Amino acid sequence: MKTFEHIAEEMLHIPKEKIGDDLTPKDVPDWDSMNYLLFIAELERAFKMSFSMDEVMNAKSLGDVRKIVEARKK
């Protein structure tokens, strides 16, 4: 099973050692609207979950997205 970090590295092209909860779209050149949606779709597929539109639109950092995933895994 892929980890959150592996998916972030793969989909947003973030080097493994630079992945952190404080990263935002302005910090990651490949974090545009299309890649963000592909990232969310891959998380949904990998973790067999669904994000609401509000969650997708209101997540402002990698940490925000991680919190959603972690909350659903419990």
Question: pTM of this prediction?
Answer: 0.93
Average pLDDT score over the chain = 95
Question: Can you read off the two tokens belonging to residue 71?
Answer: 């909350």
Domain residues of the chain, as ranges? 4-73
pLDDT in tens, 12-48: 999 999 999 999 999 999 999 999 999 999 999 999 9
pLDDT of residue 64: 98
- Name, in order, each residue with C-beta under 8 angstroms of 35's C-beta and a sequence gap of 6 or more: 11, 12
How confident is the model at residue 72, as a pLDDT? 85
65/46 Cα distance (integer angstroms): 14
What is the average pLDDT across 54-73?
A: 95
The domain over range 4-73 is classified in CATH as 1.10.1200.10? yes
Indicate the length of the chain as a whole number: 74
